[in-house]
Amino acid sequence: MTQETISTKAVITPAEMLEHWQGHRRLTRRVIEAFPEKELFSFSVGGMRPFSELALEMIAMGMPGIDGMLTGKWSTFEAIYEGGRPTTKEALLALWDELTEKLNRLWPEIPAERFHEVDVAFGQYEGTIQFTLFYFVDNEIHHRGQGYVYLRALGIEPPPFWDRA
């Protein structure tokens, strides 16, 4: 049985999933870029966090999350904050791009079986690896959608949702 035949039992294969995640991350990067520097770190609606904090949460999940998914060793979710928060758009985007490269580098090492193992993400959240993985991606989509409202409230046209190039 070939690899291709085997993978037809999947809704989405590991290779497709990496592209799915990185496609979303390319869009989120454009949303970060769309914010004026000041508003990125200060503007919000309804008492919520500014978009810089939402983007940093995405990085805070993904940066140790890819290690945990691969190895089963989870550092704390808060690790990313220990070096201090980025205070410029450029520094935030540099962290973003660092994670992009890290995902591309480590993802292919995850055995496909691993996605169905139960683990305790960050030592706190029990579930299969696929559940945790989709939590990362869905949390990004959720908060990015909030960023779209912030941009609209600022009178800025957000990048198109359908464009993941």
The residue within the footprint of a copy of itself, chosen from 94, 118, 120, 141 (CB under 8 A), is 141
Site for a copy of itself (CB under 8 A): which residue of 97, 109, 116, 120? 116
Structure tokens at 71: 């190895």
Query: Which of 68, 152, 160, 163 touches a copy of itself by CB under 8 A?
Result: 152
Which 8-state DSSP code applies to residue 120? Answer: E
Find out whether 137 and 24 touch, Cβ atoms under 8 Å. yes
Among 82, 90, 101, 113, binds a copy of itself (CB under 8 A): 113
What is the enclosing helix (H) or strand (E) of 53?
Answer: helix 51-71
Report the residue from 82, 83, 90, 162 that binds a copy of itself according to the rule CB under 8 A.
162
Residue 145 binding a copy of itself, by CB under 8 A: yes
On whether 143 is known to bind a ligand per the annotation, the reply is yes
Q: What is the sign, positive or negative, of the torsion defined by CA atoms of 27, 31, 32, 34?
A: positive
Task: Please tell me whether residue 45 binds a copy of itself under the rule CB under 8 A.
Answer: yes
Residue 128: CB minimum distance to a copy of itself, A: 8
In what helix (H) or strand (E) does residue 58 lie, and over which residues does it extend? helix 51-71
Q: How far is CA 86 from CA 134, 154, 159, in A?
A: 26, 22, 23
C-alpha 30/C-alpha 96 separation (Å) is 11
Stretch in the footprint of a copy of itself (CB under 8 A) among 33-41, 73-81, 94-102, 109-117: 109-117
Instruction: Say which residues have a Cβ less than 8 Å from residue 63's Cβ, sequence separation at least 6.
Output: 79, 80, 95, 98, 99, 102
Binding site for a copy of itself (CB under 8 A): 1, 3, 6-14, 16-17, 20, 24, 45-48, 112-113, 115-116, 128, 130, 133-135, 138-139, 141-146, 148-155, 161-162
Question: Residue ranges for the binding site for a divalent metal cation?
Answer: 143
